[in-house]
Structure 1
C-alpha cells in the first residue's frame, strides 16, 4: 500500500466518524415529525400562515396526523425504512401543496412559501439519505430459538435433582428446644411414656 494513501484514508475515516450516523439522523427525523405534527394539529391556521399557504385547518390537521404517524413509526419500529420513505412521499405532497395553495398575490406570503419549500427540500434530502442508508445496512438474520426449552436436561431427569444434595439452612431448621416435640421418633417415645404414666395412675 502506498504510504501517501494512508493519511487520506485516515482523514476520510475521521471525517466519517465526525459525521452524524444514519440511525441518529433517522431518530432526529422521527422527533422532527412528531414536533411538526403536533404543531399542525394544535395550531393549523398559524402553521398555514407561517408557510404562506391558503388551506383549511382540516387539511393541515391531516398533514399533522401523517407526520405523527411517520415520527412514531420511525422511533418505535425496528425497521424505519417504510416510514422514512413515507416521509419522502409526504415531502412531495407538501411541495405540491406549497406550489398550488400558496398565496401568489402577497409578496410576503410568496417569500414564506419559498422559505418553506427550501426547508422541505432540505428535509427531503435527509429523508432520502437516511432511507438509503437504512436499506444498505446489513441485517442480521433473526435467531431461531424454537428448539430451546431453557432447561439443561429433560424434565424427567431434572425431577428431584435439587433434593439430592439439598441441606436445610441453619436458620430454617427447627430450634433445638423444640426438637423433641417435632421429631417423629422422639415424639412417639414421649407419647408412649405419657400413655404409660396415665395407665399407672389409673391402676
Structure 2
C-alpha cells in the first residue's frame, strides 16, 4: 500500500545562483576595498572613500557567507540589505554628487542585481516548504506478489519464446 510523506527538496538552481552571487560579491568587494578612489570619483562622490571601503568589506563578508554556508538564505537577505544601502547612496550621489549620470547608471545596475538577489532569496525560501511525495517503494508493478505471478505468462507463448532477432529461446534458458 502506498503512503505519502512530506519532504523538502533543495532547489539546486537557487543554490547555484547564490554561489555565483557569492563570487560576484567577493569580486566587487575586493574592487571596492582596493580601489575606493577611482570608484568614488566615477560615482561623483570623491570624498567618500571610507564609505566605499565599508561597502567592500560588507560585500566580501556576504560573499564568503554565500560560498561557505550550508544555508545561503540569511546571506541572501544580507545581499538584499546591501542592495538597499547601495541604492540609497547612489540616489544621494545622483542628486548631490558631481556625476549624476554615472550614479544613475550604477543605480540601474544595482537594481538589476537586486532583482536577481530577490528572485534567488524567494527561491531559497520556497525550497523550505514541505511537499507531498508518494512513496511507492513497496510496489513491484504486479497485482500480486512476484512469486505468485511467476509462470503465468509462459502458457500464452507456448513452450518456446521468439527472440526479437528471430532466434528460438527454450523456456529453460529464460528462467533464473
TM over 0.5: yes
1:137 to 2:140 alignment: no
- In the TM superposition, residue 65 of structure 1 has moved relative to its aligned partner by 0.4
Gaps of 5+ in 2: 1-11, 131-176
SS of the residue 1:21 aligns to: helix
Q: TM-score, normalised by structure 2?
A: 0.62
Counterpart in the other structure of 2:16? 24
Gaps of 5+ in 1: 1-19, 141-203
Q: Is contact 2:32-2:53 (8 Å) kept?
A: yes
The number of aligned residues is 119
Larger radius of gyration: 1
**Which of the pair is proportionally richer in strand?**
2
Counterpart in the other structure of 1:171? none
The one of 68, 71, 84 aligned to 1:79 = 71
Counterpart in the other structure of 1:146? none
1:40 to 2:32 alignment: yes
Counterpart in the other structure of 2:115? 125
**Which of the pair is proportionally richer in helix?**
1
SS of the residue 2:70 aligns to: coil
Q: Is contact 1:53-1:113 (8 Å) kept?
A: no
Q: CA RMSD in A?
A: 2.1
Higher relative CO (Cα under 8 Å, sequence separation at least 6) belongs to 2
